[in-house]
Amino acid sequence: MKKIINDPNQVVQDMIDGLIMANPATLKQVPETFVVAREDAPVQGKVALVSGGGSGHEPAHAGYIGKGVLDAAVCGEVFTSPTPDQVLEAIRAVDGGAGVFLVIKNYTGDVLNFEMAQELAEAEGIKVSHVIVNDDVAVEDSSFTTGRRGIAGTVFVHKIAGAKAEAGGSLEEVQAVAEKVVANVRSMGMALTPCIVPAAGTPSFELEEDEMEIGMGIHGEPGINRGSITSADEIAIALTDKILADYDFSGEVAVLVNGLGATPAMELYILNKKIHQILEEQGINVYKTFVGEYMTSLEMAGCSVSLLKVDDELKELLDAASEAPAFRI
């Protein structure tokens, strides 16, 4: 195992320390937790957004903390859901009286632990609601989920729901727009190589040098097809066609071409070129495109494609100002 780390058992805390040192004016750590929050939290009278999950997907989730996006993120151990008590500490830390909204990716541990934390917070008199993101069209169930997995489309939920909250939306309004994003976003990914969880020290799965897997999950969950590596255009077709077959994207879309940690920007832009060509052929207008690393899987080589069908409301919120380190507008 080759990694730039110190103690494999301290990677999350070391990462949090480095993140906050890079953003000291805007981020803080809640003492004795793995919770990172806005420096000015709680913001009185504003609905607060909390997300999180296992670490290893950086910049998700703590990279999306900032004015206009998240108020806090709970950083679990690598690929491990944060515990209910950690999520509860995040809720307490950001509650400004208008309620707290949880963005949960559809993984069994995340759903159970975030919902348990919600119940505990509500018992303390804090208003809490949530949305579960399940944008991955690759498989209906996996070793980590019942139903579709939540992957990079979650970033659109963070941004748009966060903008609604920053604009003064009520808890009910924030939930409504988050559910609208979930209903209109679809994603699919693929992998060329596995990744290594630091505490394990060995690859999480195996792919031969000339193999790729279509539909791979962000923790290395199996996809729908394993075969020989093909061209960028063929990969773009495989991912985009599956997404388009799942939902009516006629009109306008936002596109997210996401690297999984070890894919050069050059390759992501090559994929993006073909994705745009496919959408143009289908008569679908691209409103805005995002290319880069938004939700990774440690050092996995691969990518995912997300399409979000947008209307005037979603476009306005997507364009709203953001001060999050990983999503500045």
Q: Residue written as tokens 């975030």?
A: 114
- Residue 264 pairs in a beta bridge with none
CA-based nearest residue to 217, from 109, 79, 36 = 79
Q: Which of 213, 81, 55, 221 is nearest to 143 (CA)?
A: 221
Crossing angle of helices 312-319 and 171-184, rounded to 10° = 110
- Please pick, among 130, 158, 219, 276, the residue that the annotation labels catalytic: 219
Burial class (CB in 10 A: 0-12, 13-18, 19+), 32: exposed
Other C-beta atoms lying within 10 Å of the C-beta of residue 3:
12
Q: Element (H or E) spanning 327, and its range?
A: strand 327-328
Is 219 assigned a catalytic role? yes
Does residue 130 have an active-site annotation? no
Task: State the catalytic residue, choosing from 57, 61, 130, 158.
Answer: 57
Q: Fill in the amino acid letter for 4.
A: I
| Contact (Cβ atoms closer than 8 angstroms) between residue 37 and residue 94 | yes
What is the number of alpha carbons within 13 Å of residue 116 lying toward its C-beta? Answer: 13
Phi, psi of 131 (to 5 degrees): -135, 145
Judging by DSSP bridges, how do beta strands 323-324 and 252-259 pair with one another? unpaired
Phi, psi angles (nearest 5°) of residue 179: -65, -30
**Euclidean distance between CA atoms 178 and 130, whole angstroms:** 9
Instruction: Give the residue numbers marked as catalytic.
Output: 57, 219
